[in-house]
Structure 1
Amino acid sequence: MIHTFVLFCLFFCHLFGVFSETVSVMEGDSVTLYTDVTEIHEDDEIVWKYGAENTLIAEINKAAGVYSTSDVPDERFRDRLKLDRQTGSLIITNITTQHTGDYEVQMSGAILSSQTYHVSVYARLSVPVISSNSSSSSSSSSCSLVCSVLNVGHVTLSWYKGNSLLSSISVSDLSISLSLPLEVEYQEKNSYSCVINNPIRNQTTHLDISKLCQPCSDSVHCCGFTETVIRLVLSALVGVASAAVLVYDIRSTRGRRI
């Protein structure tokens, strides 16, 4: 029974041209949503709709000479839509994350057909930044690092040792900052990299251990930021106190001479 129902659905979709497809694209790129025709006939009509409200964004009526994308009420599509006059395909230029959603094309005339696209638009990826985090080091023989990215969404941030995944963190929200820690041994010879990726692209930053991970050579560099500030303040106070005592001694000596 189920097998018969599946065959019927496949036959129905093939007969009436009902299809659905997922398209992924990067922000700022152009994307073309194709129809299933190679050439529009004289009596064909094609309409493109967007979103759950089925907002009309483009239409073609070849007999009436209508090829319209200019009367779109949705400001998000202003000056971004083009139509292929031969096939009726819709071109969205300079696409943004605001254009994510469902697009439906309905064609009538010689052949009835309908097709739906779900378009996912991903923001541009920023380059991961690797920095040292010496105050968080758990031992004197290891180097504590952190990889960070700002204002990202729908991405995964990962540490790799060679080609092996060490750790990762994912986020589905938009405009959020991510950071991922890593601890390595000083003077280690292994290759490490931090990678941010979405379903389309990735950005990689390679770790320069010799630059960011150096054994402590003095007490100032070995302590954390807060401890360093405290030491500097105490040193300044000692210096001021010493100067005050010296001035007092000089004045006292001059007073006795007079």
Structure 2
Amino acid sequence: MIHLIFFQLYLWCLVGVSGVNAVKSVSVTEGDSVTLHIQRDDEIEWRFGQNNILLAEIKQNNKSTFYDGSAGGRFRGRLKLDQTGSLSITNTSTTDSGDYKVTSTKTRILLSTFSLSVYGHLPVPVFTRDSPQCSSSSERSSKYLLLCSVFNVSRVTLSWYKGNSLLSSISVSDLSISLSLPLEVEYQDKNTYSCVLNNPISNQTTHLDITQICSDCCSCGSAEAGIRFVLSALVGVAGVTILAILVHGFRTRNLHQKKSVQTRATDTDPSDVDVLE
């Protein structure tokens, strides 16, 4: 019986310790405030990061002391403690991401661990066209390669969707880089496409209007037809002009010939005609 009681107490201790020390994940957007909630019953201290940098402590008389000048001064003026021992961080930055640990200053027992993730604001995805220029081939001008792009992002996923179906995606971890994801479409395509940028707590979506994106390049056919029409018109005008010049020259030459004949007939002496008779 005694052994059973001790065994139950042992199990209870294990469950209690695992429950208290379980890591609690918290996520916020950069610039927001966050509070890491605890309920203290002892003197405690808050530490941050892998190096366990001391941030703040609170005594039994509710006297709080802050060491926000540590950690490179990144927390200076942004930390608050309430009577429960909960730690608040204002105007959060992505550099605030990491583990926050609460420890009893008397027993040195780890009471709570928080894993804080601070995500940057997501930009709106933009579209750019990467397609061949207008050409005589209508087949080439009917397809376009569109790029969905975002700049200076980290810990995000960029995706193309056709309706609600995922077509393709690309992800980046902690590096701050620019991302571009291609999609080949046709001008006559009537499907609904959207480009989505997301992280675990927010997203930005831009819907694709193919007629707007391809308005200038999709007019290649009409542009070429217009050029052909203008060239044909010019050729026609040139032909009519040449024909008019030829007709005018022909008429002028005939007129000169007639005048020449009349002149010769007038200049002939009648007496010469009698002599000949």
Among 52, 55, 58, the alignment partner of 1:57 is 55
In the TM superposition, residue 108 of structure 1 has moved relative to its aligned partner by 5.9
Whole-Å separation in 2 of the counterparts to 1:136 and 1:152: 31
Q: In terms of Rg, which structure is larger?
A: 2
TM-score w.r.t. structure 2 length?
A: 0.67
Pairing 1:124-135 to 2, within 5 Å after superposition: 124-135=121-132
Among 97, 104, 128, the alignment partner of 1:100 is 97
Contact 1:128 1:205 in 2 (8 A): yes
Among 206, 218, 229, the alignment partner of 2:223 is 218
Contact 2:196 2:204 in 1 (8 A): yes
RMSD between aligned residues:
2.7
Whole-Å separation in 2 of the counterparts to 1:153 and 1:71: 26
In the TM superposition, residue 176 of structure 1 has moved relative to its aligned partner by 0.2
- In structure 1, stretches of 5+ residues that fail to align are 1-6, 220-258
Query: CA deviation digits over 1:7-44, x for unaligned, max 9?
Result: 96774251583232122221111111111x2xx55xx3
Q: Helix, strand or coil: the match of 2:180?
A: strand
Pair 1:45-2:43 in alignment: yes
Kindly tell me: are residues 71 and 207 of structure 1, through their superposed partners in 2, closer, same or farther at Cα, counting changes over 3 Å? closer
Pairing 1:61-210 to 2, within 5 Å after superposition: 61-63=59-61, 65-69=62-66, 72-74=69-71, 75-85=73-83, 87-107=84-104, 114-135=111-132, 139-210=140-211
Q: Helix, strand or coil: the match of 1:135?
A: coil
In the TM superposition, residue 107 of structure 1 has moved relative to its aligned partner by 3.4
Contact 2:101 2:110 in 1 (8 A): no
In the TM superposition, residue 143 of structure 1 has moved relative to its aligned partner by 2.2
Code of the aligned partner of 2:55:
I
Kindly tell me: are residues 210 and 8 of structure 1, through their superposed partners in 2, closer, same or farther at Cα, counting changes over 3 Å? farther
Aligned to 2:4: none
In the TM superposition, residue 159 of structure 1 has moved relative to its aligned partner by 0.6
Code of the aligned partner of 2:56:
A
Contact 2:68 2:75 in 1 (8 A): no
Whole-Å separation in 2 of the counterparts to 1:97 and 1:123: 7
Q: Helix, strand or coil: the match of 1:28?
A: coil
Code of the aligned partner of 2:33:
S
